[in-house]
Structure formats: structure tokens, C-alpha cells
Amino acid sequence: MNKPLDIGETLSASWETFTKNAAALIVGFLLLAIVGGISMGICLGPLLVGYCRMCLRANRGEKVEIGDVFKGFDTFGPAFVLMLLVGLCVMIGMMLLFIPGLIAGYLLFWSFWFMADGETSATECMKKSSELARADVGAGIVFVLVNGIVNAVGNAIPFGSLITGPIAMAMAGSGFDRAVNGGAQSHEVDSYQQPMQPGA
């Protein structure tokens, strides 16, 4: 990874992001779960891209709104394909004595973040995620494990996941920005809330 993933700093950043954008992140997370479930997973990929994009923008100090979770639908096709491919890779890996599935899950952890950050090719997102995950395996595994624990803690209390889920996502977004973009920063965005290319 370009920069080490510091657990303390990313957790602190995610808590700050959450407290400043609690309503949007909580309701957005709830919509992600409800609409994703009602659609039998068909809309889950685009919703994940939209929510990841929300977290990235919130981490960068940009304004986010509840409806932003649906803005991942501008990349519906690529996001749907990405969800299908990632799910297939992990499922096949789980069938092959479980461990390969965990490895696939780790290597593809950042896939949706790359699409949220502007990459539109599903296979390229998976390739970049794998490269990022393999760049610093030790720090990456610790980060993913802690992120998973933060996310799972909420399951111990009623509706707790509505708090820990957004925090875990914001933490992952902070880690992604630090590793790929050198830290949280403000970017100009287009009408679809995607980073604008130089000269656009």
C-alpha cells in the first residue's frame, strides 16, 4: 500500500465523519440494506458504489445527502457485474475448503471503493484491489480484520449495526483514501458526484 493503514487514525477519522454526517450515513445504510434485500441483490452493487462514494466524500469534508446512496446507479451495469464477479469468486473460494474464499475476500476488499472513486471497469477494480491488498499484506489483513470486528460489534445489540456499519464503512473509506490518494482531501466532482478529470 502506498501508505500504512493506521488503525487508530482511520478509526478516529471514521468517528469524526460519522458524527458530522450521522443522519445521512445511517439512513443511507438502512436504504442500502432494505433496497438491496427487496431487489434480491440486483441493486446491491450500485447501492454499495453509491454508499462508498458517500463515505469518501464525507471523509473529504464534502457535503453528503441521504439520496446520494442511489447515485451509484449511474454505473449500474459495471457495479452489477462487479458484485456478481466478487460474489462468485468468494463463493467458489468458500467451496474450496473455505480458506481460498477468505483469501479472495481479502484481495477483493477494495473493489467497490475503486469503482466509487471513478474506475468504471469491474475487472480493473478487482485487479487494483488485489494489487492494493498485496502491497502490504500484514497491515492490510490487520485493517480488514479490525474493520470486520467494528462492523460486527453492532450485531450484539438491537439496531447496533446502524451505528457500527456506517462507522466501519467510513473507516474503510478513510483507509482507501490514505492508501490510494494520500489521505482525505477535497476533490471537484461532476454532476454524478464522481471526481472530475483534469481539464474537464
Per-residue model confidence as pLDDT tens digits over 156-193 = 888 899 999 999 999 999 999 999 988 655 444 443 44
Residue 105 DSSP symbol: H
State the Cα–Cα distance between residues 178 and 180, nearest whole angstrom. Answer: 6
pTM for the model: 0.86
pLDDT value of position 182: 80
pLDDT value of position 198: 37
State the Cα–Cα distance between residues 18 and 172, nearest whole angstrom. Answer: 12
Cβ–Cβ under 8 Å, residues 35 and 43: yes
Nearest alpha-carbon partner for 117 in 107, 109, 125, 126:
125
pLDDT value of position 4: 53
Residue spans of the chain under pLDDT 50 = 1-2, 186-200
The gap from C-alpha 13 to its chain's centroid, in whole angstroms, comes to 15
CB atoms within 10 A of CB 74: 19
CB atoms within 10 A of CB 92: 12
State the Cα–Cα distance between residues 159 and 157, nearest whole angstrom. Answer: 6
CB atoms within 10 A of CB 70: 17
Residue 50 DSSP symbol: H
The CA–CA distances, whole Å, from 120 to 62, 74, 94, 142, 195 equal 22, 10, 27, 28, 12
pLDDT value of position 3: 55
